[in-house]
Every structure is written in C-alpha cells, then in structure tokens.
C-alpha cells in the first residue's frame, strides 16, 4: 500500500529544546545546545551511511524544537542536507517551531532554505494552562510568532492545540479554539492529551478528564470543519490544498529515511529506529557506524495488520482486499458489533465512536500496539 507516487520522505530530528514540557514523551534534550554543531555534522555523516540513495521528495524537520537552532545553524542544517542529497528538489519542506524561539532572522533563514510549511506548537492560548503544561511561551508570544510567520513567507502555516491539559476547562478550550480560528491557519493538529508514563505530568498524579476531553474534541471537529477545514486524519484538519504530502506518505505505508537521534525509518519493508540517547547516537556516527538501535521486518498477517492500522488513521479509511477481510474476519466483526468500524463496498473506516477509541481499534490489528511518533 505504498504511496502511488513511490514517494520517499526524509525526516530529520532535532532533539534540542529549552525545557522538557510536562507531557512530552518525544526524544528531546534540554540544555544541550552546545552539542548542536557536532550534531549537525553527524546528520550529514549519517546520511552517507544510509543504504538508500534515491532522492527524497519531501523533508520534515521535527523535534524537540528545531527553532532552538540559531539562524546561522538553520543555514548550516539545510546546506548539509542539500550536500547529502544533491539531487533532491524537495517539493515540500516542513519545519517545526515554538513561539518563544521563532524570530525574524530565523524566518529569513527558513525562507532562504525553501521551507514551504511551518508547524507552530501553540498547544494553548491561555497563560495559566501553558505554565501548568511546562511550556515556555505565552499567549502573546503565540500571536507574535504567528503574525511574523504570516508576513515572512508564502508558506503554509500549521498550528497545534492540545485538549485536556491541566487547568483547561471547557470555557478555556473553547476560547483557545476561537482564537486559533481567528488567526486563520492553513492546517490544524488537534490532540487529546495522551499521558505517557515517565513524563512530569504523569509523575505529578494528574488524571485527564477523558469525558470532558471527548466532549470538547467532538465539538471542535464540528467547529473546525464548519470553518472550512477537511478532517482528513484522526487529529488533523486542513484547508483545501494544505494536506502535508510527507505525513500522508506515512499513513499510506510509504517509505522514508529518518536521520538523527531517535528518528525512525521505513525502507524496503524494514522499520528501524535510531538510538534515542544523544551521546550514544553521536558516538556511533563519529565511529562511522549506523546508529540503528532496533529494526524489524513485518511479514504475513503482521504486515497486513500494519497496513490496516495506518489506513484507518485516515478519516476516509482504506480499501480492504479479500485477504485483509479473511485474515482479520473476527476482528472486523467484533469492531463492527461495537460500532467502531464500518465496511461498505470494500472500504473500511472508523466511525465517530471509533475515532475516540482509536487505540482500541488499532490494537485489533497491531499487537502489541505502540503509538507512533507522527509529527504534523
């Protein structure tokens, strides 16, 4: 079920950040900015170690917080990537940023680099909620950053919001959504808080109100789609023409190269992940070794299950062939009885109820189910 274009994506992970957010389970390292020069060199060196030599068509720079890089370091990052992939023209380049670390000089560097898409992590527009979540920006910073992004380039601008953060009442979340829609982004990623073991928020004993989160998320779907956004993936909404090809390639089972600490790759049917420890990653690359920490090649029913899991993430669902139907016959029937999935005309998709219980749906096809880090 690879992308129809045979698209190869390139994901580059920048693990540096000013501080660890209370809910963050991504590979990130606060207070390590002195390692940035060595890390940028390691990214170029790692690219030479990857056995895939096709030219990637899309590029996604995620984190961590890529906007922690200075303007000169952004120039260096893209110069190294273009040396590593001289034949790539990158029809789409996404760069993640946080409001507190985005400024005019960095935006100029991103424009020089040919960035076509900015993804800004707002998460909330309420200062008390931001503080409780361990964010390092204010609502005023968010407005400033979004405004700068809008006037600095002809690019698509995406923003992130989280539903269910500490102190985020129904009134606060609705006000957040009002303000975000008033900003007029091209793309919105809206997540219900997923509390991961080991995060500061989990250690604090905070328990999300799942019923309230669901109520607000369902309300948000209606409001965001009424504002002209297409709900195309569980947590993602786009104005026409602003669906990211890079992410669509993930959900189509396409191939991608992942560079950097903790980055994942999917090549030749093999899924792999780099070492998540920054020092281990740097040490391996310095010695001319690929920094792969784990890999697996799915086959048979496991491979079919993954195709279904990825396809069901898209709101439109996926076409299921007779083998998919037969291999998972009992699972399909159980999900249909629970009202979580519908099948019609050879196509399966999750119901609205299924969207809210997506992890339970996915667990029927991928066991044990592990949430993938998908940036937006």
Q: Tell me what pLDDT residue 376 has.
A: 53
Strand partners, 304: none
317 CB-side CA count, 13 A = 18
- Nearest Cα residue to 262 out of 101, 120, 372: 372
Distant-in-sequence, close-in-space partners of 106: CB < 8 Å, separation ≥ 6: 67, 69, 70, 71, 74, 97
Fold of domain 301-376 = Arc Repressor Mutant, subunit A (1.10.10)
Q: In 8-155, at which residue ranges do the beta strands (DSSP E only) sit?
A: 8-14, 16-17, 29-30, 58-63, 92-97, 117-123
Q: What is the pLDDT of residues 330-357, one digit of tens each?
A: 999 999 999 999 999 999 999 999 999 9
Is residue 33 predicted with pLDDT exceeding 60? Answer: yes
Q: What is the pLDDT of residues 270-289, one digit of tens each?
A: 999 999 999 999 999 999 99
Contact between 286 and 42 (Cβ < 8 Å): yes
The token pair at 279 is 């020092």
Please state, in angstroms and rounded to a whole number, the distance separating the CA atoms of residues 55 and 76: 20
Fold of domain 8-250 = TIM Barrel (3.20.20)
Phi, psi (deg, nearest 5) at residue 280: -65, -45
Give the start-to-end residue ranges of the domains of the chain.
8-250, 301-376
Q: What is the dihedral of CA 281, 283, 288, 291, to 10 degrees?
A: -20
- Provide the mean pLDDT of the chain: 93
What average pLDDT does range 359-366 have in this prediction? 93
Going by pLDDT thresholds of 50, 70 and 90, the confidence category of residue 367 is low
């Amino acid at each position: 079920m690879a992308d129809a274009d045979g698209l190869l994506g390139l994901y580059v992970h920048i693990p540096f950040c000013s501080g660890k957010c209370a809910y963050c389970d991504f590979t990130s390292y606060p207070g390590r900015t002195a390692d940035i020069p060595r890390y940028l060199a390691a990214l170029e060196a790692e690219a030479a170690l990857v056995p895939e030599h096709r030219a990637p068509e899309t590029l996604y720079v995620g984190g961590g917080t890529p906007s922690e890089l200075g303007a000169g370091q952004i120039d260096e990052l893209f110069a190294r990537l273009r040396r590593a992939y001289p034949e790539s023209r990158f029809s789409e380049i996404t760069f993640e940023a946080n409001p507190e670390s985005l400024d005019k000089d960095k935006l100029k560097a991103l424009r020089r680099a040919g960035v076509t898409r900015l993804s800004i992590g707002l998460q909330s527009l309420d200062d008390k909620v931001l503080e409780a979540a361990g964010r390092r920006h204010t609502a005023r910073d968010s407005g400033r950053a979004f405004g700068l992004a809008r006037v600095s380039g002809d690019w698509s601008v995406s923003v992130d919001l989280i539903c269910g953060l500490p102190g985020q009442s129904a009134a606060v979340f609705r006000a957040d959504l009002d303000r975000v829609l008033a900003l007029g982004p091209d793309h919105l990623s809206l997540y219900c808080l997923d509390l991961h073991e080991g995060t500061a928020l989990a250690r604090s004993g905070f328990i999300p109100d799942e019923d309230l989160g669901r109520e607000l998320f369902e309300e948000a779907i209606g409001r965001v789609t009424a504002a002209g956004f297409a709900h195309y993936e569980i947590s993602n909404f786009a104005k026409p023409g602003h669906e990211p090809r890079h992410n669509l390639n993930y959900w189509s089972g396409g191939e991608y190269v992942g560079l950097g600490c903790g980055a994942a790759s999917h090549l030749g049917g093999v899924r792999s992940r780099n070492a998540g420890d920054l020092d281990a990653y740097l040490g391996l690359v310095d010695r001319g070794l690929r920094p792969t920490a784990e890999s697996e090649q799915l086959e048979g029913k496991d491979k079919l299950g993954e195709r279904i899991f990825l396809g069901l993430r898209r709101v439109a669902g996926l076409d299921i062939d007779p083998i998919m139907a037969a291999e998972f016959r009992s699972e399909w029937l159980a999900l249909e009885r629970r009202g979580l999935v519908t099948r019609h005309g050879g196509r399966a998709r999750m119901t609205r109820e299924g969207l809210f219980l997506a992890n339970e749906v996915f667990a029927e096809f991928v066991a044990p189910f592990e949430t993938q880090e998908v940036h937006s």
